[in-house]
Chain A
Amino acid sequence: MEETIMINWQEVVNRYFDGETSEEEERLLRRFLATEAGQGSEFDEVRAVMSVFAAGKAVNQTRHKSRKLWPWLAAACVAGLAWLLWTGIGSSQDVCVAYVNGQKITDRNEVLALMQESWNDIEMQETGNTVEEQLTDLFNTLE
């Protein structure tokens, strides 16, 4: 029984070297070569060849995957850059809102009234008695 199995695998190996095996047969052959029965020296050559091909396939898959990824990465970067430039330029948006003690106010007239009130509080015309007092003191001293 065992002999029959070995002969069968040898036949598969021969067909492998002739390029006549299917992918499924090659997969099964790889599995066999990993078992104890497949450790014989008669399988060293096929094991070596299949290892080389397996390594080459892995490298190609990695290259293929990264080759697929680069265009998407480039597109994402360009899209991100375009968005950042657009927001930087400042797409016009109308905002008119106020909060009084945490309460949101969206009535346009109320908000604008609060805006005017806050600006009045700045009292830009009034630069402070401190300046006037200092100037007065300065001129008084000069006199």
Chain B
Amino acid sequence: MRRIVLLCIIATCCVSIVQAQKGLSISDFFEKPFAKATMVHVEGSELTPYHLTLYRSVSFSDTYLVVDAMEKSVLTDARLAYSKEMGNQGKRLYYAFLALPPRDGHHANRYIFYRNASLREDGKDELTLVYMEGSATMDELKKLFKK
């Protein structure tokens, strides 16, 4: 009986540890609302038509405040990606489209999208980060929200 209980305790601890490590580096930007940013969090039935389960985005207008930290986070998580499309402007990361494997025990694909529009000559001073989960493919995402 005691052995069974001990096994239960160990199993619970292991699962807790696994759950705690599921976070990505970019998750820091979705923790709480920023004073000068636009954040979107949509989850559930609204996204079903797009074959998505989760959509989170954050856009900053004063890019200089966060560009270093955000670039670093995106590049950190890019190491986990099985598919990536990235481009630079000079030494800065201009865009990144990353496809990551599902979390342990899940089936939904994970995607990270990043765009630093301020690097374009005519671009607005804006930095956008999007995180998605779902069964949609990259091709489907290219047509996302288009009617």
Q: Output the least CB separation between A98 and chain B (Å).
A: 5
Is A45 part of the contact surface with B, judged by Cβ < 8 Å? Answer: no
CB atoms of B19 and A127 under 8 A apart: no
* CB closest chain-B residue, reference A99: B33
Check A123/B38 contact, CB under 8 A, given A84-B12, A85-B15, A96-B46.
no
Q: Which residues of B contact A115 (CB under 8 A)?
A: 40, 42, 55, 57, 145
CB atoms of A118 and B43 under 8 A apart: no
Q: Output the least CB separation between B123 and chain A (Å).
A: 10
Interface residue count on the A side (C-beta < 8 Å): 44
Interface residue count on the B side (C-beta < 8 Å): 50
Is A138 part of the contact surface with B, judged by Cβ < 8 Å? Answer: no
Is A54 part of the contact surface with B, judged by Cβ < 8 Å? Answer: no
Q: Which residues of B contact A90 (CB under 8 A)?
A: 53, 106
Contact of A99 among B9, B11, B39, B114 (CB under 8 A): B39
Q: Please, what's the 1-or-0 string for B105-137, where 1 marks a CB less than 8 Å from any CB in chain A?
A: 110000001110100100000101010000000
Which of B42, B43, B105 has the most chain A CB within a 10 Å cutoff?
A: B42
Stretch at the interface among B64-72, B74-82, B87-95: B87-95
Interface residues in A55-91 by Cβ distance below 8 A to B read: 70, 73-74, 77-78, 80-81, 84-85, 87-90
Is A97 part of the contact surface with B, judged by Cβ < 8 Å? Answer: yes
* CB closest chain-A residue, reference B132: A119
Q: Which residues of B contact A84 (CB under 8 A)?
A: 12, 15-16, 19
